[in-house]
Amino acid sequence: MAGAFSRILSARRSVGILSLVGAGSLTAGYLLARERRVGAAANVRRLYPASAEYPDLRKHNNCMASHLTPAVYARLCDKATPNGFTLDQAIQTGVDNPGHPFIKTVGMVAGDEESYEVFADLFDPVIKERHNGYDSRSMTHPTDLDASKIRSGVFDERYVLSSRVRTGRSIRGLSLPPACTRAERREVERVVVDALGGLRGELTGRYYSLTQMTEQEQQQLIDDHFLFDKPVSPLLTCAGMARDWPDARGIWHNNQKTFLIWINEEDHTRVISMEKGGNMKRVFERFCKGLKEVEKLIVEKGWEFMWNEHLGYVLTCPSNLGTGLRAGVHIKLPLMSKDPRFPKILDNLRLQKRGTGGVDTAAVGSTFDISNLDRLGQSEVQLVQTVIDGVNYLIECEKRLEKGQDIRVPPPISQFK
């Protein structure tokens, strides 16, 4: 039966064929998967018992290493997703990168949507640790992209230099960057660029493929701080995300340069809304509008985003599950930054600070990147409101310090609302 299918399929796409197969299509789907990736289950070669394969994690400090016991490894090492993604592939980045004593990395990635299910015994405790105790078995994640609910999202521009919201989206049915083939990656590009071509009004824009951009275009994108480069971080390269670079990678942005999409970097898509100044409300409005428009356009063509009610939007790294949202500002806080209560205030406001070069950079002068800590268990609206309320509080503190008045450490705000 498999042979008959391979003959039918040898020269053309099978999407229409599956509808002919009808009731047996579940079987057909798996047979086709087996034809495309010969012996997906065979990828899991088991010459040795699990104990001989178990990685040496004694010097490791990442979430994967904390939760991958020999028992969990033994239970999961024979499994593979329908695409053939295995546990060893999921954890490779964490095995190869023992981690930092101060910063605990995640140490594992998903190769496809099914990874989170097939390897739930490991992903669930990692998700719980990374996302403040969120229990993906029992809890549901709220999704809310109604920007009209935002209150007072316009900041004092004597302090806030710029505002930005980013997230990621994955195209259901196609493997994620650690595992995708060249054809799948190109399909992601095609689907997304096709959809983006349908955006209108302030969202009208164009696509710059990394393989085809001119030197001039490249320079302009660098000047706009839009261009992303081949990953050099071993966290990403060990997870196989830089394979075939720069094939099917690119950047789309609208003409006003306020809405930007990265294609096939660490996720299928990264969606960014940003502008100079303090109008976070408008940035978030554009963010929600753009996301909904893109979703509408891909749904029209028969596609959808990876999403489920427990994990929210499904992305490559477990740290980005839920909203995948980081909303932040570049803000000048010369007096606050010297106050010893600053870290505690940020913590209680559920905010984090980074340098203005992004994660892993130091602050320049006293300008910081301030953004939400949390990703999963609260909606987009809730997280952006948290950032707005927090930044307003920080500005109030800065103003009070300017006048020689004292400031208060606010009580910690509750997490899962």
Partner 1 sequence: MLTKWRQQTFKYFVVEEEFPELSKHNNHMAKVLTKDMYAKLRDKQTPTGFTVDDVIQTGVDNPGHPFIMTVGCVAGDEESYDVFKDLFDPVISDRHGGYKPSDKHKTDLNFENLKGGDDLDPNYVLSSRVRTGRSIKGYALPPHNSRGERRAVEKLSVEALNSLDGEFKGKYYPLKSMTDAEQEQLIADHFLFDKPVSPLLLAAGMARDWPDARGIWHNENKTFLVWVNEEDHLRVISMQKGGNMKEVFKRFCVGLQRIEEIFKKHNHGFMWNEHLGYILTCPSNLGTGLRGGVHVKLPKLSTHAKFEEILTRLRLQKRGTGGVDTASVGGVFDISNADRIGSSEVDQVQCVVDGVKLMVEMEKKLEKGEAIDSMIPAQK
Task: Tell me: does residue 173 bind partner 1 (CB under 8 A).
Answer: yes
Task: Tell me: does residue 79 bind partner 1 (CB under 8 A).
Answer: no
Least distance to partner 1, CB of residue 220, Å: 22
The single-letter DSSP state of residue 309 is: T
Note the maximum CA span of the chain: 82
Q: How far out from the chain centre does Cα 275 lie?
A: 21
User: Do 402 and 335 meet the contact criterion of CB atoms below 8 Å apart?
Assistant: yes
Which part of the chain contacts partner 1 (CB under 8 A), choosing from 6-14, 273-281, 339-347, 348-356? 6-14
Strand 312-313 relative to strand 259-263, pairing: unpaired
- In whole angstroms, give the CA distance from residue 404 to residue 45: 68
- In whole angstroms, give the CA distance from residue 35 to residue 1: 11
Residue 163 annotated as lining a ligand binding site: yes
Q: Give the residue, chosen from 1, 23, 52, 362, that forms a contact with partner 1 under the rule CB under 8 A.
A: 52
User: Do 307 and 173 meet the contact criterion of CB atoms below 8 Å apart?
Assistant: no
Give one DSSP letter per residue of 251-293, joined into a string: EEEETTSSEEEEESSSSSEEEEEEEESSBHHHHHHHHHHHHHH
Strand partners, 308: 312
Which part of the chain contacts partner 1 (CB under 8 A), choosing from 128-136, 167-175, 216-224, 282-290? 167-175
Q: Give the residue, chosen from 69, 74, 82, 337, that forms a contact with partner 1 under the rule CB under 8 A.
A: 82
| Residues with Cβ within 8 Å of residue 140, at least 6 apart in sequence | 309, 310
| Residues with Cβ within 8 Å of residue 325, at least 6 apart in sequence | 165, 166, 167, 372, 375, 380, 383, 384
Least distance to partner 1, CB of residue 234, Å: 9
Task: Tell me: does residue 257 bind partner 1 (CB under 8 A).
Answer: no
Task: Tell me: does residue 400 bind partner 1 (CB under 8 A).
Answer: no
Least distance to partner 1, CB of residue 311, Å: 12
Q: Give the residue, chosen from 61, 132, 181, 348, that forms a contact with partner 1 under the rule CB under 8 A.
A: 181
Sign, CA dihedral 55-61-63-66, equals positive
Distances (CA, A) of 400 to 37, 39, 109, 360: 63, 67, 44, 30
Residue 400 annotated as lining a ligand binding site: no
Cβ nearer to partner 1, comparing 181 with 204 = 181
Least distance to partner 1, CB of residue 349, Å: 37
Residue 328 annotated as lining a ligand binding site: yes
Q: Give the residue, chosen from 303, 305, 313, 342, that forms a contact with partner 1 under the rule CB under 8 A.
A: 303
Residue 225 annotated as lining a ligand binding site: yes
Contact positions with partner 1 (CB under 8 A) in 96-155: 96, 113-114, 117
Which part of the chain contacts partner 1 (CB under 8 A), choosing from 26-34, 152-160, 318-326, 342-350? 26-34
Q: How far apart are the first and last CA of the chain?
A: 52
Q: Give the residue, chosen from 75, 104, 128, 172, that forms a contact with partner 1 under the rule CB under 8 A.
A: 172
Least distance to partner 1, CB of residue 56, Å: 6
- In whole angstroms, give the CA distance from residue 86 to residue 80: 5
Least distance to partner 1, CB of residue 290, Å: 23
Task: Tell me: does residue 14 bind partner 1 (CB under 8 A).
Answer: yes
Binding site for partner 1 (CB under 8 A): 9, 11-15, 18, 25-26, 28-29, 32-33, 35-36, 38-39, 42-43, 45, 47-48, 52-56, 82, 88, 92, 95-96, 113-114, 117, 172-174, 181-184, 186-187, 211, 237-238, 242-245, 247, 302-304
Residue numbering of the annotated binding site: 162-166, 225, 270, 326-330, 354-359
Residue numbering of the annotated binding site for ATP: 162-166, 225, 270, 326-330, 354-359
